[in-house]
Amino acid sequence: MPLNQIPTRAQMLSKNILTAIAFVSFAAVGAALLSQHLLDMLPCAWCILQRMIFILIGVVAMLGAIVPARPIRRVALIATLVLSALGIAAAWHQWTVAAAQFSCDQTLADRIVSGSGLDATMPWLFGIYATCMDASVSILGLDFAVWSLLLYAVFAIAALVGLRATKSR
């Protein structure tokens, strides 16, 4: 291997960050599916929107980790940061507003999920089966939406660390 093809410490750090984000993001979706299908914790529209964001983050991070080009990694880290911010906003809204509402019908989350057609195509993954109020569940003393919010915040911080690493040569 030529000397110029040996990955730098910064390249390895950004790759490892993206790999970890992808793995944890897909694991979060897996945990949500286990909660839904084994524990009967049915998701609302905001839950499904967050699930969609986690999947997008996982795919973007995985692609960024696989492609060795520095500009692609930077784009993946920036996209992860933006998607994490959107996830934080969705989780915050679910926790502070939607959880107190009797219905998620015709909310932004419901329109996005229904408009994507994924709820009809893959109802086992993207089906909306509960109202926002019914979907509000605590795990270890924290609302499920708060756990999502915290995970999105960790992803955002990790993406910032990765961006800082890719900035240096």
Over residues 17-57, the pLDDT tens digits come to: 999 999 999 999 999 999 889 988 888 888 999 999 999 99
Is the distance from CB of 154 to CB of 147 less than 8 angstroms?
A: no
- Residue 3: predicted pLDDT: 47
Enumerate residues 6+ apart whose C-beta is below 8 A from 75: 64
Alpha carbons 145 and 96: distance in angstroms, whole number: 9
Answer yes or no: are the C-beta atoms of 53 and 23 closer than 8 Å. no
Alpha helices in 5-122 (DSSP H): 9-39, 45-66, 70-96, 108-116, 118-121
- Is the pLDDT at 127 greater than 60? The verdict is yes
- Which residue pairs, CB below 8 angstroms and at least 24 apart, start in 138-145? 143/95, 143/99, 144/35, 144/41, 144/47, 145/46, 145/47, 145/50, 145/91, 145/92, 145/94, 145/95, 145/99
Most confident of 78-87, 111-120, 144-153: 78-87
- What number of other Cβ atoms are within 10 A of residue 21's Cβ? 28
Q: Read off the pLDDT of residues 56-106 as tens digits, 9 standing for 90 and up.
A: 999 999 999 999 888 899 999 999 999 999 999 999 988 887 766 665 667
Q: Alpha-carbon torsion 37, 43, 49, 53, what sign? A: negative
If one compares 132 and 83, the residue with the highest pLDDT of the two is 83
Residue whose tokens read 């900035």: 167
CB-based contact 128:45 (threshold 8 Å): yes
